[in-house]
Structure 1
């Protein structure tokens, strides 16, 4: 296995990603759209998710494919970004046909970034416009770090961000991941100088910091994120607020998978969150992974290849999480440092 030419989820042919953000808001939206509708499913492992239209992604539901997937900041307000995407796709003639009508299907997931130092005193919800702008910006190349849905993301110790990674498998299948990293937990070991995901790194794609040389269990430091949220929230509860976190992700492949097989890949990809973040899947996180398949590459040995695709998806997601944090950049008013500032 090796990364694709871009080392982005868009190494899966036919996919494009767009970002839009508001620097004063310290929030934004990321949209993944296909040249054609794609098969997709979802797996939720966190205790506090925020979603739109995820029920239709269950393997027993009739919707055959979706037009786009949205990751957004803004907590529940951010779900409105999918409406902006839906409206723009409808205007372009995209959508699931129902007789003479067309209904674009745009599942979405959100993260909580309402207490990160940005100006949230809006009169009109800004997220529909951010969703439309992100769709308009969709391309094969896109920014990582403090961009799109990762603009205002935070981890326990450092700024979070938006990340992506890909792998080319020996059987000709491509797998990629896209993630907005905003967890309760930390992506670095207690020293703050090494990624939990160090063993999955290719080259120096997230700094080449290597594994932590310390042996055995180490007590984690106090969470900078919880302390900052408590200050910003005027005394938020000591757990950081229900739903005040979340890692939301998309994994993709060009393999020909059914919706049930995509669901299995989404489940396997959650291992990447557990590899890269500690703790993960907490009651205060809404950890969620969408999995999609464009269907361009038929599988000769579906069960065996599906196992490899799920494993590759978990590796891509772990790497994308680390890349998101490594690529984060400082901005005025930040309540947490970037990892590079803290080294």
Structure 2
């Protein structure tokens, strides 16, 4: 019996190591491509959009696509880095972390801006408060973030670009000019009692927004694109301080618990768009080339299940307002985000 237990333990270890991926083979086998998705894109309401992207990969490579949805940023980042996923759609910070763990992880494309180029390939990191509370964060007619100190605050994940890296950098830069906070560091924002009274992590941008709207947090960081399927502009100008957004009456989970609730933006910062990244140890050079060429094609650009017309009211991963499409991107494009950690 003891030998049998030892044998089972050994087999378990072998299977666990095998799951981590091997050089030169796809993460789920030579005939399969596994795409990892962040929690933001893992919801049931995004299933059709994920499948449509999967079809592009399947038709291009002739391989079956498996979707690896996740509940934590780290799961997707580690999966791509260790080869148990072949491709991932991830924020700039997550990509940088995966690339640092394994330099065979390389970015291939990002969604462009309205111009169809990299010039405006940006989205927005928001700091938001519940509607009705925004005047507490104003100095005259100007919005200021002074009063977020000592409040209950929600981030997304410490691996999130727009849900932690960018807002934490901005907060430290702003407050460290004051004598009281001259020694403030980003690490001080990770737990309550150092700068905020309490710190929450939503696990996704949607989760962080719901932390705010449900009253768990006084203020929160999340991005515009990840909540676009669930909210609509109620007052003001989009992506500007003072704009008010309302949760749609038909909002899917997790916003179904806060339908009709409103929040106001008190700060907005442009952020580099998120890439599709590939583990070039598990995806061969020919397939990487095919995938890249397919994604930047006019056919994908004109696929309204991938680039959903913004005024259609339909949920999607990417939205079309003008000439949006996927464009090729090199690793060095993300250096401005790398600089935030120096």
Q: Per the shorter chain, which TM-score range?
A: under 0.3
- TM-score of the superposition, structure 1-length normalised? 0.27
Greater C-alpha radius of gyration: 2
